[in-house]
Structure formats: structure tokens, C-alpha cells
Chains A and B, each alone.
Chain A
Amino acid sequence: ETGVTQSPTHLIKTRGQQVTLRCSSQSGHNTVSWYQQALGQGPQFIFQYYREEENGRGNFPPRFSGLQFPNYSSELNVNALELDDSALYLCASSPDMGQAYEQYFGPGTRLTVT
């Protein structure tokens, strides 16, 4: 089991609402990535943060935004929730950028939008 934690475990929201998901990386990990995993699919890259700056973004609209804090925690914010946003949201951290570093995943937050 990795040292990456996510909260909450499960969440139910209504269409149009806003949600904040949280991730706590392993201490010393400067890079965090967020992925959306729809039911029966592989994870899709949302974006990555490195030292509190966004460094790369997937094909997701601007209503998906993030923050990374100096204490190795991060947030994924989603505004104007849509039914299709229902998914498992995974965060993954690594010590630094570069291919030598493994990404360590958290257990995810299951978001249901009704």
C-alpha cells in the first residue's frame, strides 16, 4: 500500500453543483497527476501539477481545475457537474518529473452525479 491518500472515499452530488476532491501525496513528492476512470474504462489523464504549477493537461474542459499546496496535498475541483462526471477519480504522485520515477496511486474517490 502506498502513502497516497484521497478523501472522501465516496461522494454523491447533484448536477450543476461543484465538488472538491482531495489528495495527500507521499512526503517529498513534488509531482501529482489526476485521472478520471469511468466505469469499465481505463483512467484518463486530467492534468498534472509540479511544484504548485500546472504542467500538462488532458482533454478536459476548464471547469476541471486543480491546486497543489506546499504541504504535498492537492485538490481537484469540478464546477457545474454533469452526469458524465460520475467516475472514480485517482491521484498519483511521484518524487519528481522524469521517467526514472514511478507514479504512486491513491485509492480514488468515487463520485456519483445525480
Chain B
Amino acid sequence: AQTVTQSQPEMSVQEAETVTLSCTYDTSESDYYLFWYKQPPSRQMILVIRQEAYKQQNATENRFSVNFQKAAKSFSLKISDSQLGDAAMYFCAYRSGDFGNEKLTFGTGTRLTIIP
């Protein structure tokens, strides 16, 4: 079974600074997908960024980028130029590459606080 570990329960960063959230995972599969989701106080889970395991290039979405290290099974999220609206719980998630296996396996989350 796949597992996802987020070792930082809480992180804080000054507004406009850069912060990195860590995630490691365990799997025996070679084809899979990794995600970072944001859950603000409104509770609605929002996709921040996704990474296909077969792609060597790290995914980027505006101020959000990942450092995907497949051999080390590490998938960290970097947020640049942090903004007050980035304050939320951030979850790392894994999905198998097997067609029909749509299950997302989540980590326990990191609460990110932005300091004005």
C-alpha cells in the first residue's frame, strides 16, 4: 500500500518570502501522480499543482513549483512571494497510474501561516 508522509505539521513564513513544504511517499509502482492540494478555512480542497512521475521536469504553476526527486521518493512544494491568501492547510497526495484506480492517498497536512 502507498503511504504519504508530511513531517512538518506547521510552517510559517513572512509575506513575500519563500517557503518549502516537504512530502515523502512510499510506493512500489513506477507510474503514478503526485499532487499538492490547498485547504483554506472554507474547507474546499483546491488543486495547487500536479506532477506525473514519468516526467523528469518539475511542475510549476505561477508562484508554486515542486522539487520532484523520484529516486528519493520526495515531492516538496515551494511557494515564492508568499501572500496572505496562501494561508491554509496543504496536503500532499498520491494517485496510482493504474487506470480505474482513482483513489487519492493523502498525507496528514502542513498548516501554513503567513506573517504580515
Contact = CB atoms under 8 A, between A and B. Distances in A.
B47 A102 contact: yes
Interface string B83-115: 000000001010101011111111111000000
B46 A105 contact: yes
A113 to B, nearest CB: 18
A90 B42 CA distance: 12
A65 B47 CA distance: 27
A6 B106 CA distance: 21
A33 B100 contact: no
Nearest to A99: B33
A41 B45 CA distance: 13
Contacts of B55: none
Contacts of B91: 42-43
Contact of B45 (A45, A56, A92, A97): A92
B102 A43 contact: no
A58 interface: yes
B44 interface: yes
A58 B103 contact: yes
A106 interface: yes
Contact of B102 (A41, A42, A56, A90): A56
A99 B104 contact: no
Interface in A74-104: 88, 90, 92, 94, 97-99, 102-103
Contact of A48 (B45, B102, B108): B102
Contacts of B52: 99
A43 B46 contact: no
A38 to B, nearest CB: 10
Contact of B97 (A50, A97, A99): A99
B102 A33 contact: yes
Interface in B37-92: 37, 42-47, 50, 52, 91
Contacts of A103: 47, 102, 104
Interface of B: 4, 6, 33, 37, 42-47, 50, 52, 91, 93, 95, 97, 99-109
